[in-house]
Amino acid sequence: MDLIPRPGRATTREGGFFELGPDTKVLAGEGTEATDHWLRTTLGAATGLPLAPGAGEDDVVRLSLDGELGAEGYRLAVVPSGVHLTGGGPAGLFWGAQTLRQLLGPDAFRRAPLPGRQWRLPLTEVEDAPRFRWRGLMLDVARHFMPKDGVLRYLDLMAAHKLNVLHFHLTDDQGWRVEIKRYPKLTGTGSWRARTKFGHRASPLWEEKPHGGHYTQDDIREIVAYAAERHITVVPEIDLPGHSQAAIAAYPELGNTDVVDTAGLTVWDTWGISPNVLAPTDRTLRFYEGVFEELLGLFPSEFIHVGGDECPKEQWRQSPAAQARIKELGLADEDELQAWFIKHFDRWLTARGRRLIGWDEILEGGLAAGAAVSSWRGYAGGVAAARAGHDVVMCPEQQVYLDHRQDAGPDEPVPIGYVRTLEDVYRFEPVPPELTPEEAGHVLGPQANVWTEVMESPARVDYQVFPRLAAFAEVAWSDLPAPAERDFAGFERRMAAHYRRLDALGVAYRPPGGPLPWQRRPGVLGRPIDGRPPNK
């Protein structure tokens, strides 16, 4: 079977099929209504079959729940008389439906039926459950805005690969993407920039036209609801105290006004790390509390991401107000001032029943017990966090940053970072071997990060993300052996079928033989790094 991600146990009986037809009924047990609806709308559209509700012993797809399988586990049995799909919970049932779709063939991923198509399922038994509870994709819509329909499309692509957390990077120096009603200038001013650097920040090329966009609160509600129907949690990120120039451009009083004429700042039009950071004032704290109050009403997620990374300290060093704040709070230096920012929102979110998560720099000032860490600067932050009793999402840049180039060839578009091939991603191991079993239990799971500085269109995002996201999904879901022992050749054979699924979904992936002519970006400067990335 060409299933991706690879299931825990799967057997196929030779010489037999169950064929779905116009008389095939769906018998939906209690608690299976959401997957029943998905089968009718998504598989029904692809196959042209009514999949009407019904009962009986033959020609029926049965949906049921069995709590002994675990919330995200499922069992799929295809016999001559039909299909029995059982989930440990609604999520497990839905993941089983994704496996059923793969077994139907690539055309089951289309939005309308092809003429004369037969829908045969091999006689099969599959029993499966995920290795990790957090199987994430971070999508950066701050640098290049992705319209709502593109986000909904990526939620469908995530669901097809059994990924279940969308980390939604909504704010940065280059744009603020979520409507906050009490602060309308965050999107009125902060959601667009006058022009955009094309390529790496050292590139001499500019796209001399405004770029922007934002999601209304109703857009966010729609995205969150659409994700929930697919058992995907949306975790929003509002970056602070660094990566905040778009917010300061909208509300200059948020910046260090005693050092910089913040009224003259605009949304940043290049890449890198802006020196313009938030001022450590009570006014700033109250402002962002107002932001988070509205966010909590939009995102029901357990975790709220506050960024906390890459905060230059020079303005604080020069600012009399910041220095006075350091003295008033009894802090040692500017690094402790950054930790004070994070601790404030750690306490604030905890008091409201949520958990703070941030990039691994937040470890440097100490955290509340419930806070979690996104380990991006390699594995070290994750190891330190797990040993300190904090939950960890493993997303080391050297391994699973999908903006990094996929090949060393000269035709790769805007080459960034280390070469990270499909095989490299397949051999990524989220749990550092030096952790004890108890410490390893703090690894919630892995996450692939998609930073969009050099991804100026949805097609460019597709090119960087796929096919590597398929390899990442198998790492996140399947109980694989140690990296060196993984059967990459077998995975490649299964990918031959999976490319046809991606074709049916309209994904502009990087072909195995290299970029197509229109996927190249000749003359656009990147930032390639030679050699193998550090594995630490």
- Residue that is written with structure tokens 């704040």 in the block: 325
Question: What count of Cα atoms within 13 Å lies in the side-chain half-sphere of residue 179?
Answer: 11
Q: Are 340 and 280 in contact (CB under 8 A)?
A: yes
Whole-angstrom Cα distance, residue 455 to residue 256?
31
Total residues found in the chain within this entry = 536
Q: Are 254 and 276 in contact (CB under 8 A)?
A: no
Identify each DSSP E strand in 73-158 by its residue range.
74-79, 82-87, 119-128, 136-140
Catalytic pick from 243, 305, 404, 442? 243
Whole-angstrom Cα distance, residue 355 to residue 371?
6
Residue type, 269: D
Using alpha carbons, list the distances in angstroms from residue 535 to 378, 390, 398.
Answer: 7, 22, 7
Using alpha carbons, list the distances in angstroms from residue 13 to 2, 8, 18, 134.
Answer: 15, 17, 12, 33
Hey, how many other C-beta atoms are within 10 angstroms of the C-beta on 193?
22
Q: Which two tokens stand for residue 200?
A: 């790496």
- Provide the 3-class DSSP secondary structure of residue 94: helix
Q: H/E/C letters for each residue in 274-297? A: CCCCECCCHHHHHHHHHHHHHHHH
Q: Are 128 and 95 in contact (CB under 8 A)?
A: yes
- Provide the 3-class DSSP secondary structure of residue 497: helix
Catalytic pick from 66, 127, 294, 310? 310
Active site residue 310: yes
Q: Are 242 and 254 in contact (CB under 8 A)?
A: no
Whole-angstrom Cα distance, residue 121 to residue 104?
6
Catalytic pick from 72, 172, 173, 429? 172
Q: Which two tokens stand for residue 69?
A: 């399988």
Q: Which of 387, 393, 330 shows the shortest CA–CA distance to 358?
A: 393
Active site residue 485: no
Q: Are 86 and 75 in contact (CB under 8 A)?
A: yes
Q: Which residues are catalytic?
A: 172, 243, 310
